[in-house]
Amino acid sequence: MLDFVLFMFFSVIESSTLFYFAFKVFKIDLYVKEIIFAGFIMAFFSYTIRIVYGLAEIDILVQYLLVFCFLWQLFRIHIFYAAIMTGMAYQTYMLIQSLVYLVLNRTFITTLHIPTNSLRIYFLQCLSALLVFSIAFYIGKRRKGFDFVPDKPDGKINISHSEKILFALSFPSITVVVLMLYLFNSSSPYFRLMPLFYAIILYGYLYLSRKKNFGDTI
């Protein structure tokens, strides 16, 4: 029972931070109750798939799709932009978490072979969430970010070339996230290269988003 409560608690923190980051980056109003509700749903799905059935790779895909679906249906973001927001938020979060893990691993605080529900994993989740939250808070405080995502989900939109590329980046984003988990579970030395892949895709998101935000053409 305690393992379930701890898993749910830290997973809700992680999921809620992901949504908080996405909203701050794209200058969208926060819906705290809805964010926590979505976090609980995602945490329950994650516990069932990852812990009960032991399907961690499937859990990664399900979590990615849940973020997308919640942005689209619960927060009423246009389906096209929901995909872009999901991809950028996930790449940022996974980049930071993979870097944090590598740092902790180098300092012998954690090791490559650890259970999903261990205290060291919870520490990794908390530290990653704290860093992502801090970045998002800074972005909101400084009024940074992008404002090209429309508020009305059913409104007519004119999709530019840069937005099509942003949307296309969602597909390698999913692949890289699944690849990361595979390399992690197989103790592959190539896992250390994952932050580089995240950084490359994230750079594409940021560059194209900036071009779109300032009305530049590609």
Q: pLDDT tens for residues 169-185? A: 877 777 777 777 777 76
Higher pLDDT, 31 or 151: 31
What is the model's pLDDT at position 134? Answer: 97
C-alpha torsion sign, points 192, 194, 198, 200: positive
Q: What 8-state DSSP symbol labels residue 216?
A: -
Q: Is the pLDDT of residue 79 over 70?
A: yes
Q: 107: which residues sit within 8 A by CB, 6+ positions away?
A: none
Average pLDDT, the chain: 85
Q: Which pLDDT band holds residue 3 (cuts at 50, 70, 90)? A: confident
Separation of alpha carbons 142 and 136, rounded Å: 10
Give the integer Cα–Cα distance in Å for 204 and 210. 10
Under the banding of pLDDT at 50, 70 and 90, the label for residue 96 is very high
Please report the pLDDT score of residue 155 as a whole number: 61
pLDDT at 193: 82
E-strand ranges in 17-176 read none
DSSP string, 152-215: -TTS-----HHHHHHHHTHHHHHHHHHHHHHHHHTT-GGGGGHHHHHHHHHHHHHHHHHHHHTT
Residue-level pLDDT at 170? 78
Other C-beta atoms within 10 Å of 216: how many?
Answer: 11
